[in-house]
Structure 1
Amino acid sequence: MSSTWFTDFYQKLAASELHPWLETLPAQIAHWKKNQHGEFAKWQRLLEKLPQTAPSVIELADKVQFGHAADISEYQQKQIEGLLKQFMPWRKGPFFIHDIHVDTEWRSDWKWDRVSPHISDLKDRLVLDVGCGSGYHMWRMLAQDPKLVTGIDPTALFLIQFQAIKHFNPDPRIHLMPVGIEDMPALKQFDTVFSMGVLYHRKSPVEFLQQLKSLLRPGGELVLETLVVEGDKHTVLFAGDRYAQMRNVWFLPSTDALTVWLERIGFKDIKVVDKDQTSLDEQRSTEWMTGQSLKDFLDPNDSNLTIEGYPAPLRATLIATA
């Protein structure tokens, strides 16, 4: 099954402005296959058990919904739900598959609702989502009829989750490649590049912004969403051992500082279009993600502070032109 995931995408690349990517991507995928997650073969076998269905509705504009319960038997619905739960934890969503509500940890639809009014129309665009997770936002992007939506994320479980959802809507314009941004050549061809929830995980944030810029065509649009702190252009929080219990958090700039970083590497028309403190309703434990979540990472006596005493998660979205 997985071989067609990649060969179909290679054919798409060959027929697009992104064809130079074929010089490096197949070898990277071959390397990735040789070093797969220990559970990957089992996950693939489970994927193959998903029944073939004919969804009576495909909805992407307001939510990600494929089909209704009436399209399938009660047995099939229970079968699908049981299989999808084998791919827990589900972090980004929600998804509605034949009326099965995949109630993910994050209400990613709320983030999309805050971001989407400010982006350029994606119709006929080549779109890249860097650190796309299971691909929720990519499906919402697809509603605007882009030429191609590509996600990159090296996490094997996210690829499986993406393919599980795509099983119910095998649209040829949407693909996820299990590679990191450090594996990407400087294509300079994407019309829009999204990076949502990645910058603070990078040890070298300015280098990461340069990598994003190298993927965009001149005049292309960057949509950058990240954790920030309040302050002026000199304010950057460098987290200690953990931030909100996360070990892999490095730099949290103010929006003014982040604007300076973007300007220094050549972005223009930089706008801060949204700033929002993450609520306990937006990130929480569910039956599809049963581990700890945001409430466990905040000071129990002051929800405006993390458990370590840092400012609680504040997220901002900036839009800039390459």
Structure 2
Amino acid sequence: MIQSLKRTLRPLLERLGLLTPYDPPNYRAVMFAALTRLKPSLQGQRVLEIGPKDGKDSERLASLQPETLVLMDIPANFTRNITSNAITPREHIPSWFHRLQLPGKSYKEGNILYLPPRELDALGQFDLIWCTGVLYHNPEPLRFIKRLFNLLRPGGLLILETSLTRHPILKNFNCVELLWPKSQRCLRMGDDDHTLIPSLVTPDARQSLSIQSNVSHLPSRLAVLSWLEMAGFHDIMEIPIPIPDQTRLGLSARKETFSGYTYSNRGPTPSPYGIGDSL
């Protein structure tokens, strides 16, 4: 109970300087520290952050003075906090965005995986993509990772963080845990976005993650590593995250000149379709 209360009050404790050396650092701050070791400066570079949430990571990225910082999140109309049957839609442009001290900043609404071709082309390519707490919300993780790969310039860097399965057996294998039908007992009712079906789910003792309708599955560590390799990433390195039981995974990975594996290499003519690309 004390640890739970501490997690809730952590932002306030951080501002007041009341955290002790025995309190583990915020895992997103750990991810950023790993980035600065790989890229001490982002001057002259293009950066894409997917899922900026509360803007804390956006502020950190802006402090490295990139030439361009594009922040993308799903449209505000689709954001609902349903873990407690409450509705809290996000602002279309969050208030914290205006506080970012960076001339080259921009905020876009949209799902990076399903953008129309014209909007996708307009984004261009990036030197760095920062993506934390997003992968496990996406129903097509391999295709999502391939999209990130295609949005990077050759030599570009991906910083990725995701939640993992807590299942005591599945977490040791190269697999994905499907949360169906538990995740669907929190759906909005019919076409009415303001009426929620109360959750009847009793949380599994092995699952510390709140079950939401936008979390349909949780991958194992090996599954995430496999997806990155299949998409074509190189120099994949894990970033140690100070969270018990290894329930989250942080990674850095680079895009080189290799364009990724294809669906079939048999026969005299290799397949033109890359793994994870839309057919």
Q: TM bucket by the smaller chain?
A: 0.5 to 0.7
Contact residue 271 and residue 320 of structure 1 kept, 8 A: yes
Match of 1:118 among 34, 38, 47: 34
Check conservation: 1:126, 1:148, Cα contact below 8 A.
yes
Q: What residue in structure 1 maps to residue 50 of structure 2?
A: 130
What letter corresponds to residue 111 of structure 2 in structure 1? Answer: G
Q: Secondary structure at the match of 2:240?
A: strand
Q: Of 126, 129, 132, which residue of structure 2 is paired with 1:196?
A: 132
Partner residue, 2:243: 277
Name the structure 1 match of 2:109. 178
> Structure 2: which 5+ residue stretches go unaligned?
1-7, 16-24, 77-88, 184-208, 256-279
2:42 corresponds to which letter in structure 1? K
- SS of 1:192's partner is strand
Distance 1:276 1:160 in 2: 32
Question: What residue number does 1:227 align with?
Answer: 163
Equivalent residue for 2:250? 317
Whether the aligned pair in 1 keeps the contact of 2:164 and 2:248 (CA below 8 Å) is: yes
Name 1:37's counterpart in structure 2.
none
- Report deviation, 1:94: 5.4
Equivalent of residue 144 in structure 1, options 64, 86, 91: 64
Deviation at 1:212, TM superposition (A): 1.0
CA RMSD of aligned residues (A): 3.0
Report what 1:43 is aligned to.
none
Q: Is the 8 A contact 1:233 1:260 kept in 2?
A: no
- CA deviation vs aligned residue, 1:203-247 (integer Å, no higher than 9, x gap): 111011111111111111111110113634523211122262312
Is the partner of 2:211 in helix, strand or coil? coil
Contact 1:134 1:161 in 2 (8 A): no
Aligned length: 186
Q: 3-state DSSP class of the match of 1:112? A: helix
Which of 210, 220, 238 is the matching residue for 1:244? 210
Q: State the match for 2:232 in structure 1.
A: 266
Higher relative contact order (CA 8 A, sep 6+): 2
| 1:168-212 Cα distance to aligned partner (Å, 9 max, x none) | 456322221112202152556200001111111111110111111
Corresponding letter in the other structure for 1:133: K
5+ residue gaps, structure 1: 1-90, 100-108, 279-303, 305-312
Q: CA contact under 8 A between 1:128 and 1:149: conserved in structure 2?
A: yes
Amino acid at match of 1:269: D
Structure number with the higher helix fraction is 1
Offset at 1:167? 3.9
Q: Which has the higher strand share?
A: 1
